[in-house]
């Protein structure tokens, strides 16, 4: 029997999509191990979050509630997770694959003297042993690990099916006392600046039009933005285009930058380096437009056009507008 604890992060009073992915992965793991699934929620008021975590599969919820926890601050959150983990003594802690989870997971592992593995994309149980799979070397290879002791697992975003809340599920709520002072927050988030180009968040977009080095400059991205807008999607970019300063680094998709999982990914002038492909492993259908027939992107794509994108894009945009009746 092993204990599984999931950090269920929240935003504006509701569990995040990453939290539901972690709960989904946690529930499947607990079932495979015959273990109970515990979750930890951290907020000023945890009542609704605890019930949501139970509906999403938690058997027991450790609720760390304190007025000081009204907004995410990493130092306070590490302390809260540590307190919950001490109460739960888990063998496995699953941490969400968002930016908060990425900084929390290693710090929690240090405090629990546990091992750490991040970007885990698949979880399997064989003969009672958990096998954790993650991409390495920019997605060129997959590595499988087992843990010799307690371990903190950072989950890769958008790789685990999210839990669907089920009304009427029952679970237990355990309150965890946390005595912290605001002084503990050595690092404080002062201000958040949201950037949403075309109005759709890259991570949530169903359709993404992405450009790379082949776009040739910032002007070309305006055409990509126009197409994305008409398709109700978002614009993304490869690292080459971001490093060149053609678009903001917040549009970067790949091993660093966003991990996306749209239904349709239109890669324009993107060669498809493994580091870029690592960010689109969750994309359902990839379309590639590239003048180099040997570009690796065509190995990942379902449909491909070998041409200079400038000769294709205006007509493609016009045709799609006609089809969509715009």
| Interaction residues for another protein, span 195-254 (CB under 8 A) | 195-196, 201-203, 207, 231, 239, 242-243, 245, 249-250
Smallest separation, CB 134 to another protein (Å): 9
Report d(CA 311, CA 236) in Å as an integer.
21
Site string for another protein, 269-288 (x = CB under 8 A): ----------------x-xx
Site string for another protein, 2-41 (x = CB under 8 A): ----------------------------------------
Q: Does 323 bind another protein (CB under 8 A)?
A: yes
Nearer to another protein, 24 or 233 (CB): 233
In DSSP terms, 76 is beta-bridged to none
* Nearest-5° Cα angle at 216, 211 to 218: 75
* Nearest-5° Cα angle at 155, 264 to 10: 90
Stretch 285-314 residues interacting with another protein (CB under 8 A): 285, 287-288, 293, 298-308, 310-314
Total interface residues for another protein by CB under 8 A: 88
307 close to 288: Cβ distance less than 8 angstroms: no
Report d(CA 270, CA 238) in Å as an integer.
7
Nearer to another protein, 145 or 178 (CB): 145
Smallest separation, CB 6 to another protein (Å): 19
Q: Is 91 exposed, middle or buried (0-12, 13-18, 19+ CB in 10 A)?
A: middle
Nearer to another protein, 33 or 286 (CB): 286
Smallest separation, CB 54 to another protein (Å): 25
Options 29-37, 105-113, 158-166, 172-180: segment touching another protein (CB under 8 A): 105-113
Report d(CA 309, CA 180) in Å as an integer.
56
Nearer to another protein, 170 or 192 (CB): 192
Stretch 70-99 residues interacting with another protein (CB under 8 A): 74-75, 98-99
> What is the widest separation between alpha-carbon atoms in the chain?
63
Smallest separation, CB 173 to another protein (Å): 28
Nearer to another protein, 31 or 146 (CB): 146
Stretch 177-196 residues interacting with another protein (CB under 8 A): 186-196
Report d(CA 268, CA 220) in Å as an integer.
10
Report d(CA 279, CA 260) in Å as an integer.
6
Indicate the length of the chain as a whole number.
326
Report d(CA 140, CA 142) in Å as an integer.
7
Nearer to another protein, 211 or 304 (CB): 304
42 close to 8: Cβ distance less than 8 angstroms: no
3-state SS track over 66-86 = CHHHHCCCHHHHHHHHHHHHH
Smallest separation, CB 231 to another protein (Å): 6
Nearer to another protein, 150 or 211 (CB): 150
Site string for another protein, 132-171 (x = CB under 8 A): ---xxxx-xxxxxxxxxxxx--x-----------------
Among 118, 125, 169, 216, binds another protein (CB under 8 A): 118
* 291: Cα separation from own chain's centroid: 32
Report d(CA 205, CA 265) in Å as an integer.
10
Helix (H, G, I), strand (E, B) or coil at 277: helix
């Amino acid at each position: 029997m092993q204990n599984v604890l999931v950090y269920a992060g929240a935003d504006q009073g509701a569990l995040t999509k990453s939290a539901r992915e972690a709960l989904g992965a946690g529930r499947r793991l607990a079932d495979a191990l015959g273990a109970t699934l515990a979750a930890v929620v951290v907020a000023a008021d945890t009542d609704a979050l605890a019930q949501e975590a139970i509906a999403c599969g938690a058997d027991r919820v450790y609720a760390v509630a304190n007025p000081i926890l009204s907004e995410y601050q990493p130092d306070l959150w590490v302390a809260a997770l540590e307190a919950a983990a001490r109460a739960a003594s888990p063998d496995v802690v699953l941490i969400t694959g968002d930016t908060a989870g990425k900084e929390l997971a290693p710090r929690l592992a240090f405090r629990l003297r546990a091992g750490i593995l991040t970007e885990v994309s698949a979880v399997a149980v064989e003969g009672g042993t958990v096998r954790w799979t993650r991409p390495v070397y920019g997605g060129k290879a997959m590595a499988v690990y087992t843990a010799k002791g307690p371990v903190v697992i950072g989950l890769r975003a958008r790789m685990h099916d999210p839990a669907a809340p089920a009304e009427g599920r029952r679970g237990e709520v355990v309150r965890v006392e946390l005595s912290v002072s605001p002084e503990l927050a050595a690092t404080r988030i002062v201000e958040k600046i949201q950037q949403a180009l075309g109005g759709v968040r890259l991570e949530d977009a169903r359709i993404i039009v992405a450009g790379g080095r082949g776009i040739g400059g910032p002007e070309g991205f305006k055409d990509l933005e126009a197409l994305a807008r008409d398709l109700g999607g978002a614009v993304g970019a490869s690292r080459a285009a971001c490093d060149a300063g053609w678009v903001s680094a917040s549009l970067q998709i790949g091993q660093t930058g966003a991990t996306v999982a749209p239904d349709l990914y239109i890669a324009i002038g993107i060669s498809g380096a493994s580091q870029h492909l690592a960010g689109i492993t969750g994309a359902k259908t990839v379309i590639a437009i590239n003048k180099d027939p040997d570009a690796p992107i065509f190995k990942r794509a379902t449909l491909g056009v070998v041409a200079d994108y400038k000769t294709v894009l205006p007509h493609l945009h016009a045709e799609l507008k006609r089809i969509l009746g715009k």
